[in-house]
Every structure is written in C-alpha cells, then in structure tokens.
Chain A
Amino acid sequence: MKTTGANPGSDDDDEALRWAGDDLRGGIDPLTRNRVAEVSASSLDDEMDAAPATPTSLARTAATALFAVLYLAIVVGWILSVQITGSSASDLFSQVAWQFGEFVAIIAGALWYLAVLTLTPDSRTAVRVGWFALGVGVLLPWPILLVLTS
C-alpha cells in the first residue's frame, strides 16, 4: 500500500484521497465513485418525482369514467328539474333571466366536469376526484330529487 509518508514531495491532500490499487479498479478514486453514485441516485429521484406529473393509472381512468356517468345523470336531472320549476314573474326581463338561469343550471354538470378534466391534468388523482365529488354535491338536482322522494 502506498502512503503519503512514503512520498514527501507530492501534495498531501491529493495523496490522502488515493489508495494503492485504484488504478486496478478502473482508475476511479472513492470520491469520484461516490459522486457518480450520487448523480445516479438523484437522476433516479427525478424520474420518481416526474412519474406523478402525468398520472394515467387505472384508478384515475376508472374514477374519471365513473364521474362522467354521474355528471351525465346530473345533467339529465336538471333537464327534468327545469320542467317542474317556474317563475311567477310576469315581466319580460325576469322571464328571460329565469330561463337563462335554468339553462346554465342544465349545463352546470357538463361545465364542471370539463373544467375539472382540463384544469387538473397534472394533479394527483385524489385532487381530481375531490373536485369531481365536490361538484356532485353542489350540483345535485334537488327539484326533481325532492319530487321523486316525496
């Protein structure tokens, strides 16, 4: 084994980081080997971090499809609901405004679904499902549900 003491003319710090036999193992000293290992590990971490950025798991697809059915039911529910709701107002502006309100209530389900779909492409599955579930709760077509359950 080569020691720093045996080589008084050379730089002590450099020599301290070298071992006899390094040349036989490909000429890579322990520090360099560790740096290579760190770079490999960090690139592996990057890959693991990048994976959820474009989640395409089966659960996510299944949840998206399930909520598509639920939101379709909500739209149908609101189409039925506006048949049984009505405005007592007689003036034209109130009538038009009421009709507009009914129309946007019908398309609310479709809008909410499309918004979640387009605005959460990179979000975690739980976040997307949370927004979908919130929409179902907010947009329940109570007018028709109350008639059906009474």
Chain B
Amino acid sequence: MSTGVVSTGVVSRVVVWVVFAVLYAYPLFEGISNLIALPPYYAANGIGAAVPWWLLIIGIAAPVLLYLAALVLGRGRELFPRTLILAVGLAAANALVLSAVSWASAVQPALKG
C-alpha cells in the first residue's frame, strides 16, 4: 500500500521533470541556434568583432541554470510547489531569452556588409 503511494509520487515527479525539461528545451534551443547563427552573420556583415557573447551565453545558461535551480528549490516539497517553481523558472527563462534578443538588437552596430 505504502509502496504504491511512494511509487505514484515518484512517477508524478518524474513526469513533471520530463514535461518541464521538454518545455525548457525550447528557450535553450533558441539560445543555441543564436550562438551558432549570430557570429557568422555578424562576420559576413563586417561587424564580427561586435558579437555580443555575453548575451549569447545568457541565452544558453538561463534555461539550464533556471531548470536546475527549480529542481533544487523544489526538493522535499509537495508536487504542486515543485510544479509551480518549475513553471516560474520556465517563464523566467523565456523572459530572459526575449530580453537577450532585444538587447542584442539594441547593441548591434550598423551593418557594413
């Protein structure tokens, strides 16, 4: 009986982790594609030295760090607080990625190419 309750709790937790891992993957994918595409684009337009590396790094680090932080902060809590914390982290990751994109546009010098 108690084993069933425990395993149900574990399954619920794992399902939440996996679902949120997939949802966090999108902002991470955005960050990785920006890291791959932006430097060649800047280089082709003669502003290769102005690549905003700090924004590209934020774009990749934010989803990963927020997911891990949400897992750590959710430890020892019930399923709802765990899910709420993961949702907050997901929303913050998306907000940070959008902020990084807008900063990249703001600091981009005039194209020379």
CB of A105 within 8 A of CB of B91, answer yes
Contact surface of A with B, Cβ cutoff 8 Å: 78, 81-82, 85, 97, 100-102, 104-105, 107-108, 111-112, 114-115, 118-119, 135, 138-143, 146, 150
CB of B97 within 8 A of CB of A112, answer no
Question: What residues on B are CB-neighbors of A112 within 8 Å?
Answer: 88, 91-92
Going nearest first, the 4 A-B pairs with the smallest beta carbon separation are A108-B91, A142-B99, A143-B102, A105-B95
| Contact pick for A119, options B85, B91, B97, CB 8 Å | B85
CB of A140 within 8 A of CB of B99, answer yes
- Asked whether any CB of chain A lies closer than 8 Å to the CB of B53, the reply is no
Query: Who on chain A is nearest to B29 by CB?
Result: A97
Given contacts A108-B88, A112-B88, whether A97 and B26 have CB atoms under 8 Å apart is yes
Question: Closest Cβ of chain B: how far from A147's Cβ, in Å?
Answer: 8
User: Complex formed: what's the CA distance from A98 to B96 in Å?
Assistant: 13
User: Complex formed: what's the CA distance from A3 to B35 in Å?
Assistant: 92
CB of B92 within 8 A of CB of A139, answer yes
CB of A138 within 8 A of CB of B84, answer no
